[in-house]
Amino acid sequence: MKHRQQAFTLIELLVVIAIIGILTGITIIALPKAIEFARITKAKAEIRDIVTSIRRLELDTGQWPGHQEINVIGNEIPNNEIWDLNEEVAGLTQNDSADPYPNWRGYYAAYIPLDPWGNPYFFDSDYDVDGIWVIAVGSFGPNGIGHNVYDEDDIIYELGR
């Protein structure tokens, strides 16, 4: 009895290669968007953790980072921004040695990480959202442009309006 050897035809191989190529192309196109979505999600989660630390600072000291009064929002409050929440004046990772917070019971955060794009998170009590001043904790987003430049990719949490 003769046994016929089984094999794939050239057309079957080409179809499989074409399918693999299409799937690879779709993956290559979708991967950067998925990575960016993951970074944005991570930034939002870290901001929520930072807000929890700020709320604890607020409960103990009656102040927000930078010794700012709670719920005071204003147009161009001078020197209100904390561009790096690891700074001593922020009061989250350490008490401000130059001007100690009253009733400080920290550490409210052991360390504030950099955002997924390598920039520090910020606190700003006169952040502009479409012409409305808000108290914001946030990240300057994928483009990293900030320091009073308000653009579409910033990721913020509003503590108050």
Please give the pLDDT value at position 47.
97
Furthest-apart CA atoms within the chain: distance in Å:
96
Assign 133 to helix, strand or coil. Answer: strand
CA distance 120 to 139: 7
What is the C-alpha separation between 27 and 126, in angstroms, rounded? 41
pTM attached to this predicted model: 0.80
- How far is the C-alpha of 26 from the C-alpha of 24, rounded, in Å? 5
In CATH terms, the superfamily for domain 29-159 is Glycoprotein, Type 4 Pilin (3.30.700.10)
Query: How many alpha carbons lie under 13 Å from residue 6 in its C-beta half-sphere?
Result: 0
Q: How far apart are CA 135 and CA 157, in angstroms?
A: 8
Q: Which amino acid is at 93?
A: T
Query: What are the pLDDT tens digits along the chain (161 aa)?
Result: 666 677 778 888 899 999 999 999 988 888 889 999 999 999 999 999 999 999 999 999 999 999 888 877 766 666 788 999 999 999 999 999 998 999 999 789 999 999 999 999 999 988 888 888 888 999 999 888 776 666 678 899 998 88
Phi (first) and psi of residue 108, to 5 degrees: -90, -20
Helix (H, G, I), strand (E, B) or coil at 37: helix
